Chains A and B, each alone.
Chain A
Amino acid sequence: MKSDIGMLKAIVGESDVSDELADLYVYSSDASVHQALPSVVVRPKTIEEVQQVMRYANGNRVPVIARGAGSGMSGHAVPIDGGIVLDMKRMNRILEIKPEDILCKVEVGVVNDELNRVLKPYGFFFPPTPSSGNICTIGGMIGTNASGNRAVKYGATRDSVLGLKVVLANGDLVKLGSNTRTDASGYQLARLMVGSEGTLGIVVEATLLLSPLPKYRAMGIANFDKLEDAGRAISDIISTGITPSMLELMDSVAITAVNRALNLGLPDVAAIVIFECDGMVKESVGHDIANIRKTCERHNGSGITVSDDPKEMARIYEGRKKLFPSLSRYGEGLVSTPLADDMAVPMSKIADCVQEIHKVAKRNNVIMSAYGHCGSGLIHTKIMMDPTKESQWEDAKRAVTEIYEYVYKIGGTTSGEHGIALSKAPSWKVEKKDSLEMMRAIKRALDPHNILNPHKLMDAPDDWTKATALRYNVRRG
């Protein structure tokens, strides 16, 4: 690889290639538990540069791993076999905004919140709202099919991608999808790329469907003394036909953590449900909020407060967005690890699943939080543990396996929004056993030399704790 650095420098320029160990070390991890060194980091600025890098890599059988902000939680950007990490953040131009067609075209290094800041004067927004929106790139969102807390109304990234430009493994550039809201014929290849975690091509440009900014918004919080009541309220709200723009659950572990880290002043109860409705007509928003309030009350929700004050709504929203990192302050010596972290279950099973999560945690000597975009059936868990103790990883491994076994038993799925990569692959392969060969065939067709983010998804190792080194300084005992 060393001798090839000059070739890469010739493509993107001297200052945008590094094989310094310090840089490789920083690019060896993301927000997951995994760590593996790349051979080189390359920062392309143009499509042509990406094409040239891919031609070189394909010819020399060098792995290529696309990376945005490196905020993925399952190890998507961790180069398990070394190779080239393509840092896509320099490709960050907003190319076109067409309000009349309700779409925009962007390079994939554009940051989600920055795009929305630019779209705001036009009266539009890009609907997916991952908590990491302040730093995550559109490319990363496409790779993982990110969604976020407003997916309950607006859907995930895949629902807002109309078309893509993709550089294939051999360096060819293809245009997939269209500029139109309907595109019925043939295989939906743009949609296939979304959520493929960089294993099928390097997405370089995206045509995105926008939504008009709602004129009115109101948010409420309901307290519950029993977790199962909160779960049933959520299920009931959705099944009665209301479409909130946000419907979130936080259990007592999550409440404690955000209060400690962010001083949010949330009540000390078993669970809270945060709900939000938005729309163009104030009365309609008020009507939906009132119905949600009634549903919560019916399920023993109490202390219900509703606000349409932008500052108060922003305070609660920011607190919710920062929940995952703030879990690292739950207890002395415990850190938050993104394990088994985003399963989705049928709406009717939310309450049961949340209760089971706590039972699994107790059985396995770890602390787990249950929270998430439960209005979409999505439950987040994080495992709080001492990552320096080898025995805690064994505990975590058992807990992850047991949780997924339960999730599948009740008809759920492995990942609702964060993707699979390495951490979730062993269980996901069990869940998707009937699809694996089809996926491998698609992968072989598009990437015959297996250079695009290899050994992820269906090709990931069967033991996530040994797939790569763990990024913590783990000691025996």
Chain B
Amino acid sequence: MGAGHLTRLEGEMNTCIRCAYCFEKCPVFNERGWDSDGARGKVILSYGLLTGQLKPSKYVADKMFRCTCCRDCIERCPSNVNVIDIVSSARADLVASGFAGETHKQVVENIKKTGNIYGDAEVVSPLKEGETPLFLGCQYLSRPNKTKKYIAILEKLGIHPEVQKEVCCGFPMEILGFKAEFESHKEKFSQFFPHKGAIALCPTCTVFLKEGYGLDAKHVLQVISEKIPEAKLGLKVTYHDPCDFSRGLKIIDEPRKILKKLGVEIVEMKDSKVQSACCGGGGGILMSDPSLSDRIAKNRIRQAIETGADTLITSCPTCEQVLKKAATDVGGSEGKNIAVRNIEDIIWMGVK
């Protein structure tokens, strides 16, 4: 048995009445089809680990790490069972029993050594004096052009962000089951980022600053949506709600309001808003099972193509990355094309 992270969740797992309503849109279950691949399956596996009916093993770990943590199951669960809490705790017990994936271990080591997920000491914040603390997060740290664009947008709208040297929020450690490492990292993070509130660029970081640290964090689009001027870009797009946006932060209207104000017509996909289908990039599977991640992303791209729009807009750098690749692959193999862009490009077009 692992480190006992599941112990506090026995009641929560009993609360799950195993109705299977979480099957409906679980991206991993819909791709793989075994009951043990769905959210309910992962709760049952966790219960087995807790009670000792299952021993930690590579097979169980592979199942448990095949989860995009997209929160769709939580949204659908009529018993409000926090499946992601259960999955991350089961992962923690599996990691404590020696069943961490090599790619995941590497990410954690990278954060410990360099403060970012890439293990690249050259990835640094574009330091800037200002009034409002801005948290970039690893994804934007490694994409300086995007970060500069967001900073320029905020300046244009009269908001003066302050950027300091920062370290990863630690979410990858938490979600991949490295809870002891995260507890150590927490202190380091607070030293680098001593603020009580912030604007954050990455949806996942925004959720985690709130949930993991109790900070008053706002996503940059929440701020922009209050000040966005009108424009007439005349584009027709479909919008992909990132999981941490629509289900984590419950931000659904703001990006749509921004796009509409800029004169962009939105054609909704079959699964959108709070029921948005996952891009396949979350929960660590992009590292541990890229082929599965890719298949889930392609499913989403096919939904986007069905709308007839020629561009998919999203507001998460990970979604953008995996959906861009999937769009290229689908375009190549199925002859149907759609462009993928991040919302900051569109906003910049409207305000520059």
Contacts and interface: CB of A to CB of B under 8 A. Distances in A.
Contacts of B51: 473
B78 A326 contact: yes
A328 interface: yes
A325 B21 contact: yes
B33 A20 contact: no
B21 A134 contact: yes
Interface in B1-37: 10-11, 14-21, 23-24, 33-36
Given A22-B57, A25-B53, A388-B14, A262 B78 contact: yes
Interface string B272-306: 00000000000000000000000000000000000
20 contacts: A20-B59, A21-B54, A22-B57, A23-B35, A25-B45, A27-B35, A31-B18, A31-B19, A70-B18, A71-B18, A89-B33, A132-B21, A135-B19, A135-B21, A322-B21, A324-B78, A328-B16, A329-B15, A329-B79, A335-B15
A132 B33 contact: no
B41 interface: yes
A376 B342 CA distance: 53
Which of B10, B14, B15, B80 has the most chain A CB atoms closer than 10 A to its own CB?
B14
Interface in A80-116: 87, 89-90
Contacts of B50: 473
B78 A261 contact: yes
Nearest to B32: A15
Contacts of A71: 18-20
A18 interface: yes
A89 B45 CA distance: 20
A135 B63 contact: no
Given A22-B48, A473-B51, A325 B19 contact: yes
Which of A31, A43, A337 has the most chain B CB atoms closer than 10 A to its own CB?
A31
B23 A135 contact: yes
B79 A328 contact: yes
B60 A22 contact: yes
B79 A26 contact: no
B274 to A, nearest CB: 13
A31 B20 contact: yes
Given A26-B41, A29-B44, A335 B14 contact: yes
Nearest to B60: A22
A325 B59 contact: no
A472 B51 CA distance: 9
Contacts of B79: 261, 325-326, 328-329, 336
Contacts of A261: 78-80
B59 A338 contact: no
A197 interface: no
Nearest to A134: B24
A18 B47 CA distance: 20
Interface in A21-75: 21-23, 25-27, 29-31, 41, 43, 69-71
Interface string A310-330: 000000000000111110110
Nearest to A333: B11
A31 B21 CA distance: 11
B77 interface: yes
Given A22-B63, A31-B17, A132-B21, A325 B78 contact: yes
Dominant SS among interface residues on chain B: helix
Which of A29, A70, A329 has the most chain B CB atoms closer than 10 A to its own CB?
A70
Given A22-B57, A29-B18, A29-B44, 6 more contacts: A21-B54, A26-B41, A261-B78, A329-B80, A336-B17, A388-B10
A323 B77 CA distance: 11
A195 interface: no
B19 A23 contact: no
A244 interface: no
Interface string A381-411: 0000001100000000000000000000000
B43 to A, nearest CB: 9
Interface of A: 18, 20-23, 25-27, 29-31, 41, 43, 69-71, 87, 89-90, 132, 134-135, 261-262, 322-326, 328-329, 333, 335-338, 387-388, 472-473
- Please list the 5 inter-chain residue pairs (A to B) with the smallest Cβ-Cβ separation, ordered nearest first: A322-B78, A325-B78, A26-B36, A328-B79, A326-B78
A25 B44 contact: yes
A22 B59 contact: yes
Given A29-B18, A70-B20, A22 B45 contact: yes
A472 B50 CA distance: 11
A23 B17 contact: no
A142 B35 CA distance: 20
A149 to B, nearest CB: 15
A26 B59 contact: no
A335 B34 CA distance: 26
A338 B10 CA distance: 19
Interface in B42-84: 44-45, 47-48, 50-51, 53-54, 57, 59-60, 63, 77-80
Which of B17, B36, B59, B60 has the most chain A CB atoms closer than 10 A to its own CB?
B17
Nearest to A68: B20
A394 to B, nearest CB: 18
Which of B19, B36, B60, B77 has the most chain A CB atoms closer than 10 A to its own CB?
B19
B87 to A, nearest CB: 14
A22 B53 CA distance: 9
Which of A132, A328, A338 has the most chain B CB atoms closer than 10 A to its own CB?
A328
B96 to A, nearest CB: 18
Contacts of A90: 33
Given A261-B78, A335-B17, A135 B33 contact: no
B36 A324 contact: no
B34 A18 contact: yes
Which of A18, A22, A335 has the most chain B CB atoms closer than 10 A to its own CB?
A22
A86 to B, nearest CB: 13
B52 to A, nearest CB: 9
Contacts of B19: 31, 71, 132, 135, 324-325
Contact of B17 (A18, A41, A69, A328): A328
Interface string B183-214: 00000000000000000000000000000000
A198 to B, nearest CB: 17
A26 B35 contact: yes
Contacts of B10: 388, 473
Contacts of A70: 18, 20, 35
A164 to B, nearest CB: 24
Nearest to B44: A26
Nearest to B42: A26
A90 B19 CA distance: 19
A468 to B, nearest CB: 14
Contacts of A26: 34-36, 41, 44-45
B5 to A, nearest CB: 17
A261 B18 CA distance: 16
Contacts of B16: 328
Nearest to B11: A333
A325 B77 CA distance: 8
Nearest to B38: A26
Contacts of B59: 20, 22
Nearest to B270: A117
Nearest to A90: B33
A87 B20 CA distance: 14
A421 to B, nearest CB: 15
